[in-house]
């Protein structure tokens, strides 16, 4: 029984290290996705600005264009559910 407790105690730092690495990887992935989302939103704004500028030249308007890009598929999950 003491041997099993010692083995468990010795494994704890390794388990903690693995959990920390996993958490760090999750955090890095979220940061990458956040940066990509921001880049896509900026690209969207730039494209909309170009379209509006081009339409003004011919005295036209873009109606119903969303301010933010949206997904092209309907998710089965409600917003915020992961």
Say which residues have a Cβ less than 8 Å from residue 62's Cβ, sequence separation at least 6.
Answer: 48, 51, 52, 55
Task: Give yes or no for a contact between 62 and 51, defined as CB atoms under 8 angstroms apart.
Answer: yes
**Domains of the chain, residue spans:** 36-60
| Residue 10, pLDDT score | 67
Average pLDDT over residues 27-51: 91
pTM over cut 0.75: no
- Has residue 54 got a pLDDT over 90? yes
| Residue 74, pLDDT score | 66
Q: Which structure tokens are listed for 14?
A: 């390794």
Q: Which structure tokens are listed for 42?
A: 């900026």
Q: Which of the given ranges, 12-16, 18-22, 28-32, 68-72, has the highest pLDDT on average?
A: 28-32
| Residue 9, pLDDT score | 64
């Amino acid at each position: 029984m003491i041997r099993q407790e010692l083995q468990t105690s010795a494994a704890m730092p390794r388990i903690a290290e693995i959990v920390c690495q996993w958490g760090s990887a999750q955090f890095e992935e979220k940061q990458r996705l956040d940066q990509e989302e921001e880049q896509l939103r900026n690209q969207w704004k730039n494209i909309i600005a170009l379209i509006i500028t081009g339409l003004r030249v011919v005295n036209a308007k873009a109606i119903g264009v969303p301010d933010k890009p949206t997904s092209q598929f309907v998710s089965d999950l409600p917003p915020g559910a992961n």
